[in-house]
Structure 1
Amino acid sequence: MDDWALSDRDFAALMHPLGPFEPQPRVAVAVSGGPDSLALTLLAAEWTAARGGRAVALTVDHRLRPDSAAEAAQVGHWLAARGIEHRVLVREGDRPAADIQAQARAARHDLLGRSCAEAGILHLLLAHHREDQAETLLLRLGRGSGLDGLAAMSPQRPTRWGQILRPLLDIPRARLRATLIKRGQPWVDDPSNADPAYARVRMRQLAPTLTAEGLSPARLAATAARLGRARAMLEREVARAAVRLVELHPAGFARLAAGAFATLSDEVVLRLLARLLAVVGGEALPPRHHRLERLARALAGGGVGGLTLAGCRIVPAPDGGWVFCREPARVAAPVALVPGCEMTWDRRFLIRLATDAPAGLCLGALGASPGRNFSEIARLKHIPSCARATIPALFDQQGVFAVPHLVYNRTGAREAPCRLEPAPALCLTGAGLRLVPFGSNPISWGMSSACDPASGVGRAKPGRTQP
């Protein structure tokens, strides 16, 4: 059993390809108290401590079961005895009426991501293992998924605050339990993991039969890994295409260069368009495949007027390229702001309002008739006419108070009383790339970074994403 348990050296080998990390790495670990996440927490704590860093364990209490709060407290006691910091994140709101597991997963990831962002932690570790990967592949095969779905879970996934890491995807569940047994660490068994009402549990119960037919978890996970390599290769091609062909503006629109499709494969074109639409339109999921294909044919053919898809307008640019901007009718309604607040608006921007900001401000789109002759503002020339009505602005009872991306403030101050950062659900280029503006400061589109509203247009460039 001891030989089957994961050692510190084993875990270091699993973490190595997911780097580089800080000299003194800080990581967060999602821990439910089950054997998989608890083993990952102990291993991550030992790995960070050996490098002068630390691990923080995060437990999400969904309040879906009567014992959940007590279980979260028990996890805290276990970890405190080992000197591991632990925080409980409580999900507020009503219990989901349907699709409970999917909604709980989305809420869990949201709470975990927010906690990491607030703490400045760039790496969140999740304990998905070999059997999880195999079950995911089978479930997605049953749904008719394409390459992205069948590649199942990725060891690394960029987010707007950092990255999600899954170092255990090739490790069988039994090794994680053996790791806890060797350390004398008990765990909690969640009864929902044996409830056949859930599709994943039913798939798990079929594992012995599938293994007898050659569909073992090891073989299925290996298949997902091979498909994952193919997906990663395509994503690298999409990132290279974005570097060469796309310009992003922090005000929320993009330019696609003329003749962009001449040298790209059909698959890369479709993926690039899907990412562009997601970043500009703020949607978490791409349009259906046939709609992307229709858009690609229209753009490649040229001579087409304005198009709309996924909350975006796609308008011909004077240089022969295309401007992707937010569809005015789909922009979120104005929202009232309280000094010191932080919120996401239009699913694309993170706003932090200064504590000394005037009361009574709200955030919304500038609109087609902002009530002032903005043509006098030199920076307006950087904003295509089709995008001007959709850029974020602050309003008060007198009208437009400030437009951060135009460096306009009615009071005459150079800076608006807020920070506006691009924060769409998906990144354009994924990990390993950042956006460098034509101005002075870096813009990390879709990641958690400083966004200088005066910096103008940015183009994707190779480089490590800076948080």
Structure 2
Amino acid sequence: MSVGSDQDAQLLEIAAQYCAEGSALGVMVSGGGDSMALLHLLHRAAGAQGIRIEALTIDHGLRAGARAEAEMVATFCGQRGIPHQINLWQRGNAGGNLMDEARRARYQMAEAWAEERGLSRIAVGHTADDQAETFLIGLSRQAGIDGLSGMRSRWLQGGVTFSRPLLSIPRAALRDYLRSHGIHWADDPSNADSHYTRVKARNALAALASLGITALTLAAVSGNLEAARLALVGQVQLAARGIAQTEAGTLSIPRADFLSHPQEIQRRLLIAALRWITGAGYPPRESGLTAVQAAIAAGKDATLGGVRFKSKADTIQILREAKAVQSLACPTTQLWDNRWQLTGPHAPNLCIRALGVEGLRACNDWRATGHPRDALLVTPAIWRGDALIAAPLAGFSNGWCANRSPSFAYFVLSH
């Protein structure tokens, strides 16, 4: 591919369209071919439009060569006047899935970096090959439409919008682009280690080529499924707007209206409710969710993932489980229970804890709020030791406000 080729122009147009969506932007760059091509393309497009661009490299400290790759990116950026930062992940002794843990940490660190640098959006260098591999991994896990829809082209995390501008471009096209511009990149040796699921999917994709099944083919299938998934999300949002009432951080859904919807819409409403109330990043296990649906259909109560589902004669009440928050405490300046932001006369000797039974007893006017008792017990309150200072949602504000955002309907649409 030559510098003036149609494909070069196509890639630059994609970058230009992304740059034109806003002002300053960040780019996550590992030093691999995909992210190096993305950085170079966005640097060209941003320069032509007068847009500030900055780069971030996360060194996970998991490979001996990772630091050298990060320094290679630093040199590349320095030669082009691109502000660049290297952040080292301090994992500690946490257990669990290392790759998943590293991925979560990567985006959390990127979000914090963007907020610190005044960037509201970050570009990530995933390609059509990544999309196809994700589809195959989903197939191996018997995934439903969500798992087979593949990677999202963009999503909101905190106050930062992450995007994948090159998700429709094959990896090989980006390698051609880099060669034509004389740009070097690093090859992660783990990409050849067949112990990793993604590498197995990559090898399977190569084997499927003789059937005419390519990265672009599977990426297109994922795109079709994503369109169907978005249609479902739209229906869930309409249902949420029509039947869900929010009160003191809880949800109340008319039982008859809920049961009138198809099983899949019910399921998605419950997932959204659970994640909205807990701030969980992922939906619960399917078996647990199926049990909750069965309990609701039978008019019984259920608990899942720190959330209570109370079945009343005409209403389903969905609220935080008391024992899930009874030991949660944080300074008043921090987010409590992943969802509550409190404003008021902050002081170092104050903290946020759940209101609880003892706290509610000190709120003489709580009944005047009209909020259910069970809901108020798990709302945030300001404490100084064992002394209750304020309970904004229980009629004892004392100069404090408790804010919960986004709305449930908006949450359904954005997640």
TM-score (norm 1): 0.78
Q: Which deviations, in whole Å up to 9, do the C-alpha atoms of 1:234-280 show, x marking residues without a partner?
A: 1111122222222334x532222453236533211211111101111
Give 5+ residue unaligned stretches, structure 1.
Answer: 432-445, 447-467
Q: Distance in 2 between matches of 1:14 and 1:269?
A: 39
Aligned positions of 1:329-340 closer than 5 A = 329-331=323-325, 333-337=327-331
Q: Distance in 1 between matches of 2:284 and 2:206?
A: 37
**Structure 1 residue runs of 4 or more that deviate by more than 6 Å after TM superposition:** none
Give 5+ residue unaligned stretches, structure 2.
Answer: none
The 3-state SS of whatever aligns with 1:53 is coil
Identify the structure with bigger relative contact order (alpha carbons < 8 Å, sequence gap 6+). Answer: 1
What's the offset of the Cα at 1:87?
1.8
Q: Which deviations, in whole Å up to 9, do the C-alpha atoms of 1:378-433 show, x marking residues without a partner?
A: 7x624221111100112112411223445745xx4x236xx765589x973233xx
Check 1:53–1:216 CA distance in 2 against 1; reply closer, same or farther (3 A cut).
same
- Is 1:256 paired with 2:253? yes
Q: 1:130–1:218: 8 Å Cα contact kept in structure 2? A: yes
Q: Distance in 2 between matches of 1:383 and 1:43?
A: 54
Q: What's the counterpart of residue 56 of structure 2?
A: 58
Give aligned pairs, total.
413
Corresponding letter in the other structure for 2:411: L
Check 1:173–1:305 CA distance in 2 against 1; reply closer, same or farther (3 A cut).
closer
What's the offset of the Cα at 1:108?
0.9
Q: Distance in 2 between matches of 1:75 and 1:5?
A: 27
Check 1:136–1:253 CA distance in 2 against 1; reply closer, same or farther (3 A cut).
same
What's the offset of the Cα at 1:372?
4.8
Higher helix share: 2
Q: Which deviations, in whole Å up to 9, do the C-alpha atoms of 1:421-453 show, x marking residues without a partner?
A: 5589x973233xxxxxxxxxxxxxx9xxxxxxx
Check 1:391–1:148 CA distance in 2 against 1; reply closer, same or farther (3 A cut).
same
Aligned positions of 1:320-331 closer than 5 A = 320-331=314-325
Q: What's the counterpart of residue 209 of structure 2?
A: 211
Q: What's the counterpart of residue 443 of structure 1?
A: none
Q: 1:4–1:175: 8 Å Cα contact kept in structure 2? A: no
Q: Distance in 1 between matches of 2:16 and 2:45?
A: 9
Q: What's the counterpart of residue 87 of structure 1?
A: 85
Q: What's the counterpart of residue 45 of structure 1?
A: 43
Q: Distance in 2 between matches of 1:198 and 1:235?
A: 32
What's the offset of the Cα at 1:96?
6.2
Aligned positions of 1:227-376 closer than 5 A = 227-249=225-247, 251-261=248-258, 264-300=261-297, 304=299, 306-316=301-311, 320-331=314-325, 333-337=327-331, 342=334, 344-349=335-340, 357-370=346-359, 372-376=361-365
Q: What's the counterpart of residue 174 of structure 2?
A: 176
Q: What's the counterpart of residue 222 of structure 2?
A: 224
Identity, % of aligned positions: 30
Q: What's the counterpart of residue 393 of structure 1?
A: 381
Check 1:221–1:305 CA distance in 2 against 1; reply closer, same or farther (3 A cut).
closer
Q: 2:328–2:337: 8 Å Cα contact kept in structure 1? A: no
Check 1:44–1:404 CA distance in 2 against 1; reply closer, same or farther (3 A cut).
farther
Q: 1:429 aligns with which of 404, 412, 415?
A: 412
What's the offset of the Cα at 1:86?
1.5
The more displaced of 198-207 and 285-294 is 285-294
TM-score (norm 2): 0.87
Q: Which deviations, in whole Å up to 9, do the C-alpha atoms of 1:43-63 show, x marking residues without a partner?
A: 223333434432221111111
Check 1:421–1:80 CA distance in 2 against 1; reply closer, same or farther (3 A cut).
farther
Q: Distance in 1 between matches of 2:35 and 2:163?
A: 13
Q: Distance in 1 between matches of 2:6 and 2:99?
A: 30
Q: 2:195 aligns with which of 194, 197, 200?
A: 197
Q: What's the counterpart of residue 21 of structure 2?
A: 21
Q: Distance in 1 between matches of 2:96 and 2:293?
A: 36
Over aligned residue pairs, what C-alpha RMSD do you find? 3.2
Check 1:206–1:429 CA distance in 2 against 1; reply closer, same or farther (3 A cut).
closer
Q: Which deviations, in whole Å up to 9, do the C-alpha atoms of 1:35-93 show, x marking residues without a partner?
A: 10111112223333434432221111111123323322221221122122212222113
- Is 1:415 paired with 2:400? yes
The 3-state SS of whatever aligns with 1:75 is helix
Q: 1:239–1:429: 8 Å Cα contact kept in structure 2? A: yes
Q: 1:31 aligns with which of 19, 25, 29?
A: 29
Q: What's the counterpart of residue 438 of structure 1?
A: none
Q: 1:31–1:38: 8 Å Cα contact kept in structure 2? A: yes
The more displaced of 111-120 and 221-230 is 111-120
